[in-house]
Amino acid sequence: MQLAEKLNITDRAISKWENGKGMPDSSIMLDLCKELKISVNELLSGEMIDMKNYDENAEKNLLEMVKQKEENDKRLLHAEILIGILGLLPFFISLIIIEAVKMEEWLASVITLTSIIPFLIATPFMLKIEQIAGYYECKECGEKYVPTYKSVFWSRHIGRTRYMKCPKCNKRTWAKKVMSK
């Protein structure tokens, strides 16, 4: 409770950390470490670090963070597929309805056009995930980069491989999606 007061948060939040149900927000990590008189690295690795082994531990923490980003990115890409399927579902359902129910042509057109709207709404979200999850690898120089949303939006693509300009060598290549740098 004393620590919670000093950090201006609830004691329930601290209880969550202690029980492993949550992590301190990065915004208060520095203050928390100051109160506990430990380094951020020690907080993240959960052990006291003597300076002799410091580099090794820093390396491990960094690796752990990279691993978490990769796992998170994979989850995002799976979510993208789900969003795509859900977005297209109304369209397929409308095809079935039009096939099964006799109706005038104009009504069939209205139903078909309306059924595409969810997919159109889903598209920007899917493109955003394509942009931020993982990296694109330049075929020319091997640079792995995160492209701008604009270049993802306007580029031709086959699956997740996109024809984009590399920020390092400025060549346009069919850049493949890779998960790690």
Q: How far is the CB of 138 from Zn ion (least distance, A)?
A: 3
Measured from the CB atom, is 45 or 151 closer to Zn ion?
151
The tokens describing 126, both together, are 């899917």
134 to 173, contacts with Zn ion by CB under 5 A?
138, 140-141, 143, 166, 168-169
55 to 114, contacts with Zn ion by CB under 5 A?
none
Measured from the CB atom, is 57 or 151 closer to Zn ion?
151
Amino acid making up residue 61: N
Measured from the CB atom, is 115 or 131 closer to Zn ion?
131
Q: Residue 108 and residue 76: Cα distance in Å, rounded? A: 35
Q: Residue 118 and residue 116: Cα distance in Å, rounded? A: 6
Q: Residue 155 and residue 172: Cα distance in Å, rounded? A: 10
Q: How far is the CB of 173 from Zn ion (least distance, A)?
A: 7
Total residues interacting with Zn ion, rule: CB under 5 A: 7
**Which stretch, 12-20, 57-65, 92-100, 132-140, contacts Zn ion (CB under 5 A)?**
132-140
How would you write 116-178 as a 3-class SS string? HHHHHHHHHHHHHHHHHCCEEECCCCCCEECCCHHHHHHCCEECCEEEEECCCCCCEEEEEEE
Measured from the CB atom, is 168 or 181 closer to Zn ion?
168
Q: Residue 157 and residue 81: Cα distance in Å, rounded? A: 16
Q: How far is the CB of 175 from Zn ion (least distance, A)?
A: 8
Measured from the CB atom, is 10 or 180 closer to Zn ion?
180
| Sign, CA torsion 20/24/29/32 | negative
Q: How far is the CB of 93 from Zn ion (least distance, A)?
A: 43
Q: How far is the CB of 179 from Zn ion (least distance, A)?
A: 19
Which parts of this chain interact with Zn ion (CB under 5 A)? 138, 140-141, 143, 166, 168-169
